[in-house]
Chains A and B, each alone.
Chain A
């Protein structure tokens, strides 16, 4: 008997089919993961179940049965009891889902008042119990805290506690960990799993991350363009995904034994498209005539495993053909293009008048590395560790407090503004968010030529067209505005803009983290191809270890403004020495590892404003010793290319 069962749910917004005939069943104690790229209708499915759709959208047909009762038929007053009561929901962004002017306790007791019959006097105690249940230490004191006093992971825990206050039967988690760092993500996922088991809740987990699905789900549903295309038990899905789209999703994941990621060309179709045949046909390599004529029906492949695909209906198995591996080894130059020597960026925390003792935030605290021609160095770390600040300090967009940045042997900080302008052509940056990195008021042509003009280069239309062709954009893109392009295409424009001035070094600041998996694969492939062709060096800033592993020749791991370990790609990924690197690697949700049994970091990342004494990592380190609390470890060389800062490894 399923707790929540959705039958043929259709949600429409004008002409848009947001959700198109979705059916799913979740049993008590089970997790159903809804997987898909953005714009596939995952969140809309969840909002339809909660009946929290935006006003312009409406559910046109279907049933949502909660313990045998169709909640779509309930009056709004009864629905309010269901929301937060029988069905709880956790949102993606913990920063905005808590009210900043109310204390944590007030927000939890609010739910208790609404959804429980217990006397008001006990609510305070209940709230404290809930907070300790979600693993927040010192719960009674924390009740009086305001959201700004909590870290992101803590806020998400509070959010979970609030949801639990209504004692729900069904928990809907909409990308609950997407905004969190990997180490925190692992903690929150484990907490969700434990709570679900204790309470026997049914959970609908919405995510785009295959790793998260693998760690959490019992059942998997893959959504594409508003409909489910494959439903399978976890094990069946991960051993043999059936639908071409599911297979492509797997192939698009960066993995170290693949030389080139599968390109799912194009992007998710617009929701107002009138589909004649299969929705995926236009992006599918195996599509044949029938796919464009008739929508496929469900084909049952095994116990609880079905997919919509004409090929499967004809009892053919689908295998995604992977592009043959290119010779991707670009010869790394022998000369260092970039040398960063003891770079420091300190911010004053507050201005103190006429005082020499200004408290400083050490965003970057003595970082040194070098980067050779046509080489990629990945800078990896949790948010707030100073990765982006390093990038900006290298580009001289951020004033460095101390240290040197040598580009081809020229010390950038020592240059006059005029001389620095000459050097700007050699280094460029690609930003994380392709939506804020392009001025919406300028045409693509102006965007591309701006840098060339500012640096006094000649602008030639033929060059511009060649540039667009290089990044895989059509010629007519020149006269269009950024908003006419999708996220992936915008990132291509941003790449073209950087390439326009023929730089030797490109700093890539999380260029794929705002993109979907399939688009991420396109961009990563593009970056790799460009490196081979143009011999450009990348400083690749990311928090995503698999991407770093796939793209980088060397990886540097940062913690609180310092590099704790640096080494060749394989040295870091397979023979990591620093406990922090190990923890980061362990926290990455894995497709192959079973659920549970992961060594997790227990604490939150410390603040860079008040770094711990000694080794910054010691409060979170499982192997911390006495010396770790007193002294920052010196650099230890493990191999000619592998260096680490850790007392465990230093020869006494």
Chain B
């Protein structure tokens, strides 16, 4: 196989590496370590942290792209289709494509078709699913099997830990781990024989597309935030701290930007970019690279239009902080402006930044859905919750209702956003020296 590095892959791994380095070379004053310890003691922080970690792992797996070797060719030939490590893991889900909609755990298609019976008779009936061609075990049997696998796995881990004398006390984290293990085993045992969350219009497994959408959602959330933060923080703090003409300039910039309807701006930018992609096909060697570039560009353009709110908030707060006595004291000590901003102002804005970033995160995932609806969101070929929700418009309108894609997308999005919100709360508490005497 041939590894393929997409732009967003590179960025996402750069981010992971830099965070790891930051943890490794943390400042000597131990503030970060202490905060992490406090975070570890917070039950809500642990639980939501684990959930977020699961999402992140899936997204990271999904960011390892490659082109598989084509079978039966004398010289190594690579497939035109770009796969990811997650695709390989989820192979059982990809294996059975149906014709169209089927309900969760169903054995038959959701729509009637002409079926030719063995005796040659043609009747109109719900045809059997591809996945149900081989005899299926009962759901309850599979559940039981999954549970016992899970138990076995837990027991194994426990034995290994005993063997190596790892001391461990049961905490919230262990419980989450146990539940995740059990759930995974259940999913694995079910997924081989059923479409757990049904299939969508083109017969693709909904669980598969939901899991694939995690990467898109996380990317839009984090990349956009990363693009937005430097603008908002740097401009907001310097406008508030220095005041004067700099403040005027920054204020004019963001009021001007605010006055342009952002959907219009995004639509214009995305459409321009689309034209660019189409006129320069040589730049992109695969369709994955094209969709990926479009995603990256979308993140950038949303980031550029989205920083004004946070910037204004930070400017106002800095105006207040600037007059505080400890900032005056630092100025009386000839502490440089840069240092004052980093040491006295930024830490005291941290809670605001964190909260608004997490709030924005959920807004961004939703914005993606809205933009996809207008037709300027991510590439329609890309798996994303936005696209799933967009498709659900028609599915909700048909009779009988196809509800599962929407419910699947909604519940995954809900879990991610809720976990992110609660986790951010815990992080903020952990970094606040006041909450813990």
Q: Which residues of A contact B (CB under 8 A)?
A: 392, 395, 397, 420-421, 424, 427-429, 431-433, 436-443, 446, 450-451, 454-455, 481, 483-484, 494, 497, 501
Residues of A within 8 A of B433 (CB): 440-441, 481, 483
Residues facing A in B359-392 (CB within 8 A) are none
- Does B401 make an interface contact (CB < 8 A)? no
Q: A433-B325, A436-B325, A442-B343 are known contacts. Are A424 and B434 too (CB-CB below 8 A)?
A: no
**Contact pattern, B 205-216, Cβ under 8 Å of A = 1, otherwise 0:** 000000000000
A450 and B332 within 8 A (CB): no
**Contact pattern, B 330-346, Cβ under 8 Å of A = 1, otherwise 0:** 11111110010001100
- Does B326 make an interface contact (CB < 8 A)? yes
The residue from B332, B334, B434 contacting A429, defined by CB atoms under 8 A apart: B332
- Does B348 make an interface contact (CB < 8 A)? yes
B334 and A397 within 8 A (CB): no
- Does B347 make an interface contact (CB < 8 A)? yes
A450 to B336, CA, bound (A): 11
Q: A436-B325, A436-B326, A483-B434 are known contacts. Are A428 and B348 too (CB-CB below 8 A)?
A: no
What 8 pairs between A and B have smallest CB-CB spacing?
A451-B333, A437-B325, A431-B325, A421-B334, A441-B347, A424-B334, A454-B335, A481-B433
Instruction: Kindly report which residue of chain A lies nearest to residue B331, judged by CB atoms.
Output: A397
- Could you tell me the distance in whole angstroms from the C-beta of A516 to the nearest C-beta in chain B? 19
A439 and B335 within 8 A (CB): no
- Does B329 make an interface contact (CB < 8 A)? yes
Q: Which residues of B contact A (CB under 8 A)?
A: 29, 324-326, 328-336, 339, 343-344, 347-348, 433-434, 437
Residues of A within 8 A of B343 (CB): 439, 442, 450
Instruction: Kindly report which residue of chain B lies nearest to residue A392, judged by CB atoms.
Output: B328
A600 to B82, CA, bound (A): 89
Instruction: Kindly report which residue of chain B lies nearest to residue A481, judged by CB atoms.
Output: B433
A397 and B332 within 8 A (CB): yes
- Could you tell me the distance in whole angstroms from the C-beta of A421 to the nearest C-beta in chain B? 4
A71 to B353, CA, bound (A): 48
A432 to B329, CA, bound (A): 12
Residues of A within 8 A of B333 (CB): 424, 428, 450-451, 454-455, 501
Identify 24 residue pairs between A and B in the complex whose beta-carbon atoms are under 8 Å apart, listed by A's number: A397-B331, A397-B332, A424-B333, A429-B329, A431-B329, A433-B325, A436-B324, A437-B324, A437-B325, A437-B329, A438-B326, A439-B326, A439-B343, A441-B348, A442-B343, A443-B29, A450-B330, A450-B333, A451-B329, A454-B334, A454-B336, A455-B333, A483-B434, A494-B329
- Could you tell me the distance in whole angstroms from the C-beta of A204 to the nearest C-beta in chain B? 34
A450 to B329, CA, bound (A): 10
Residues of A within 8 A of B336 (CB): 454
What number of A-B contacts does a CB cutoff of 8 Å give?
A: 68
A483 to B432, CA, bound (A): 11
Q: A431-B329, A483-B434, A497-B329 are known contacts. Are A451 and B335 too (CB-CB below 8 A)?
A: yes
A616 to B31, CA, bound (A): 54
Residues of A within 8 A of B29 (CB): 443, 446
- Could you tell me the distance in whole angstroms from the C-beta of A1 to the nearest C-beta in chain B? 49
Instruction: Kindly report which residue of chain B lies nearest to residue A422, judged by CB atoms.
Output: B334
A603 to B330, CA, bound (A): 39
A439 and B339 within 8 A (CB): no
Q: A424-B332, A441-B347, A451-B330 are in contact. List 10 more A-B contacts (CB 8 A).
A: A431-B325, A431-B328, A439-B348, A440-B348, A440-B433, A441-B348, A446-B29, A451-B335, A497-B329, A501-B333
Instruction: Kindly report which residue of chain A lies nearest to residue B324, judged by CB atoms.
Output: A436
B328 and A429 within 8 A (CB): yes
- Could you tell me the distance in whole angstroms from the C-beta of B297 to the nearest C-beta in chain A? 37
A126 to B347, CA, bound (A): 53
A440 to B327, CA, bound (A): 12
A536 to B50, CA, bound (A): 57
Residues of A within 8 A of B332 (CB): 395, 397, 424, 427-429, 451
Instruction: Kindly report which residue of chain B lies nearest to residue A424, judged by CB atoms.
Output: B334
- Could you tell me the distance in whole angstroms from the C-beta of A441 to the nearest C-beta in chain B? 4
B326 and A437 within 8 A (CB): yes
A497 to B330, CA, bound (A): 10
A152 to B156, CA, bound (A): 74
Residues of A within 8 A of B437 (CB): 484
Kindly name the residue among A439, A440, A443, A455 whose own CB sees the greatest number of chain B CB atoms within 10 A.
A439
Residues of B within 8 A of A439 (CB): 326, 343-344, 347-348
Instruction: Kindly report which residue of chain A lies nearest to residue B347, judged by CB atoms.
Output: A441
Instruction: Kindly report which residue of chain B lies nearest to residue A503, judged by CB atoms.
Output: B332
A424 to B336, CA, bound (A): 12
Residues of A within 8 A of B344 (CB): 439
- Could you tell me the distance in whole angstroms from the C-beta of A439 to the nearest C-beta in chain B? 5
Instruction: Kindly report which residue of chain B lies nearest to residue A500, judged by CB atoms.
Output: B333
The residue from B326, B328, B335, B348 contacting A397, defined by CB atoms under 8 A apart: B328
Residues of A within 8 A of B326 (CB): 436-439
The residue from B330, B335, B434 contacting A440, defined by CB atoms under 8 A apart: B434
Residues of B within 8 A of A484 (CB): 437
Residues of B within 8 A of A427 (CB): 332
Instruction: Kindly report which residue of chain B lies nearest to residue A451, judged by CB atoms.
Output: B333
A441 to B27, CA, bound (A): 14
Residues of A within 8 A of B335 (CB): 450-451, 454
Residues of A within 8 A of B325 (CB): 431-433, 436-437
- Could you tell me the distance in whole angstroms from the C-beta of B350 to the nearest C-beta in chain A? 8
Residues of A within 8 A of B330 (CB): 450-451, 454
Instruction: Kindly report which residue of chain A lies nearest to residue B346, judged by CB atoms.
Output: A441
A442 to B326, CA, bound (A): 11
A397 to B325, CA, bound (A): 11
Residues of A within 8 A of B328 (CB): 392, 397, 429, 431
A494 to B329, CA, bound (A): 9
A455 to B333, CA, bound (A): 7
Residues of A within 8 A of B434 (CB): 440, 481, 483
Instruction: Kindly report which residue of chain A lies nearest to residue B348, judged by CB atoms.
Output: A441
Instruction: Kindly report which residue of chain A lies nearest to residue B326, judged by CB atoms.
Output: A439
A446 to B333, CA, bound (A): 13
A484 to B433, CA, bound (A): 9
